[in-house]
Amino acid sequence: MGNRDLGSLAGRWVVETLYEEKGFICAFRADEVHYEEATGQQHLVIFDNALFGRMMTLDGITQVTQRDEFIYHEMLTHVPILAHGRAKRVLIIGGGDGGILREVTRHKSVEHVTMVEIDPSVTEFCRKQLPQISAGAFDDPRVDLIFADGAKFVEETDKSFDVIIVDSTDPVGPGEVLFSEPFYRAARARLAPGGVIVTQNGVPFMQGDELQGTMEKFRKLFKVATCYLATIPTYVGGPMALGWGTDDPSLTEVPLEELKARFNAAGLSMRYYTPEVHKAAFALPRYVLDLLEA
């Protein structure tokens, strides 16, 4: 997602300067700072904001907010799982706050979840300071929580997965390797037949090069390389792109009625995701299509 400078506590404001070179910055008022530390891997701050509730930033980058986290976590999780329709084994790379894990474990049909997070401090802090994000998911007996480098994990494991969800930070620091072709190639090798990998690829209106980079690599590896969109208020500048790589073209063509049947059978209740939103998310505006086709 481009190169973000470290955010700073400017008085009572946490400033994010990702787009400073483009003439734009944003800031969140820190009504109360609960924690700030350089963890050894990343610079972490947890604070309260009147509009977004409790928030977490890593290296000055907004990662999650209490108010709108459900949008990102629902869309990055339920779109691939319901499109697949028979996912039993799911791999999460990153996602230390536990939001993706929470949503995956809502699917009773999922038999096993492996979550690989590089920084145990992030998970520890989130369990204490943002427990509503994981909502007890770390205690689910189906979960295997591993603290390790996600790129090395997919290179070394011999396990296969129906769905791989890459909930990474931006492509700087520890998250940079998760946008590389060797990582995507190793992840592809870990997909079971008919499997799908999804990734966070930033806000394409502001950070088109990130989406272009991933799609260029995906086109070398998958029969279907595309993205879908979700609008998340915290991530300013337009809808966020979620990358999609698979060798099964049918996964983007599941009929609406079938998605409804799968959704209802799963007994899920959502705040953002609906089968209709699922279908519409793959209808891309021209400027995003241009990035995919470049």
Checking if the pLDDT of 147 tops 50, the result is: yes
Query: Domain ranges in the chain?
Result: 8-65, 69-293
Decide whether 8-65 matches 69-293 in CATH topology.
no
Which CATH number is 69-293's, of 3.40.50.150, 3.40.50.1370, 3.20.80.10, 2.30.30.20?
A: 3.40.50.150
Checking if the pLDDT of 1 tops 60, the result is: no
Mean pLDDT score, 101-121: 96
Residues recognised as catalytic: 167
Mean pLDDT score, 186-202: 97
Q: Which of 5-14, 32-41, 281-290 has the lowest mean pLDDT?
A: 5-14
Which CATH number is 8-65's, of 2.60.40.1180, 3.40.50.300, 2.30.140.10, 1.20.210.10?
A: 2.30.140.10
Distance between the two ends of the chain, CA-based, in angstroms? 17
Closest CA to 138 of 121, 122, 123: 123
Pairing of strands 53-58, 61-65: antiparallel
Mean pLDDT score, 127-142: 94
Mean pLDDT score, 113-118: 96
Q: What DSSP assignment string belongs to 73-92?
A: HHHHHHHHHHHHS---EEEE
Checking if the pLDDT of 4 tops 50, the result is: no
Q: What does the pLDDT look like over 55-68, one tens digit per residue?
A: 988 777 888 899 99
Checking if the pLDDT of 3 tops 50, the result is: no
